């Protein structure tokens, strides 16, 4: 089953919720994992189940990065706030780098998220 990670910075959580609601049917076919509050909010506002990791600043980004390195993540939607400095910026950079190293698709905007989700759904249907 396709495994997708969902992560959103605080200012981007409303956009993530809207994306999850709009793509609920697509996301329901995936095994979902996400960082703490993002996962909690998605589950509260949709019918989706998301495996919760720690929040990003508490190591959640690194937990998801470890799964990428283990080959357990097929794609990531990480709606980042590019205008606000994050206290765990080194963890964020490491996650982005590990996605590049392992050729895992990573979307950081709503538009790129839609492309990644639609592409992963097509791959899932082809299997």
* Residue numbering of the annotated binding site for substrate: 9, 13, 35-38, 55-56, 88
Distance CA 57, CA 91 (A): 8
Distance CA 111, CA 61 (A): 22
Q: Is 100 a catalytic residue?
A: no
Q: Given 61, 74, 81, 91, which residue is catalytic?
A: 61
- Phi/psi at 106 (5° precision): -130, 120
Distance CA 29, CA 127 (A): 13
Residue 24, judged by CB atoms within 10 A of its CB (0-12, 13-18, 19+), counts as middle
Distance CA 49, CA 41 (A): 11
Which secondary structure element, helix H or strand E, spans residue 101, and what is its range? helix 89-101
Task: Return the active site residues.
Answer: 61
């Amino acid at each position: 089953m396709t495994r997708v990670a969902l992560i959103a910075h605080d200012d981007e959580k409303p956009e993530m919720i809207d994306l999850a609601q709009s793509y609920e049917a697509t996301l329901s076919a995936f095994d979902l994992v996400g960082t703490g509050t993002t996962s909690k909010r998605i589950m509260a506002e949709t019918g989706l189940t998301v495996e919760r990791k720690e929040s990003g600043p508490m190591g959640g980004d690194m937990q998801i990065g470890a799964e990428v390195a283990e080959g357990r993540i097929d794609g990531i939607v990480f709606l980042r706030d590019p205008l606000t400095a994050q206290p765990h910026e080194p963890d964020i950079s490491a996650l982005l780098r590990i996605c590049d190293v392992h050729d895992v698709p990573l979307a950081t905007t709503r538009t790129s998220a839609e492309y990644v989700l639609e592409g992963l759904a097509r791959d899932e249907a082809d299997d």
